[in-house]
Amino acid sequence: MVWLKAFISGFLATLIFHQGLFAVLHAAGIVPMPAYNMGAVPPLGVPAVVSSAFFGGLWGIALWAVVRQLSPAAFWAAAIAFGAIGPTVVAMLVVFPMKGVSVTGAMWVLGMILNGFWGLGTALLMLTMGERRSRARHSEASVR
């Protein structure tokens, strides 16, 4: 059940945190494309934002596997760093080149900011679902 919660957290963090910040950056004139892209993507023709959220869910599972055992301070730092680095490196070095998109330095910075915020959101949503707290209580009880 914890891995389903991690997927849901990553999925929702994409829609709320990643795309929410993307919308703010678009409104501020920092990024030219609007958030919540509803354009169809192959091969299934689902909206791009749904495809991104699905992959955000998969990344959420990976993020949770990395951060779930960490102390509170390390937990937050690792969630943000994992989000900033992992998905950004894959997007810039694998996904964008496969799509024929030229990658710029500004895209790296923007990707790290957006994905770091996604990592923070994923961790926060996992806490909201009670996963971290239940682990912490269990660990404290076994120490006593």
Q: Write down the pLDDT at residue 62.
A: 97
| Global model pTM greater than 0.75 | yes
Structure tokens at 111: 């990707």
Q: Write down the pLDDT at residue 116.
A: 98
Which residues lie below 8 Å from residue 38, measured CB to CB, with a gap of 6+? 47, 48, 49
Q: Write down the pLDDT at residue 132.
A: 62
Phi and psi at 55, nearest 5°, equal -70, -30
Within the chain, which residues score under 50 in pLDDT?
A: 133-144
Containing 41, the helix (H) or strand (E) segment is strand 40-41
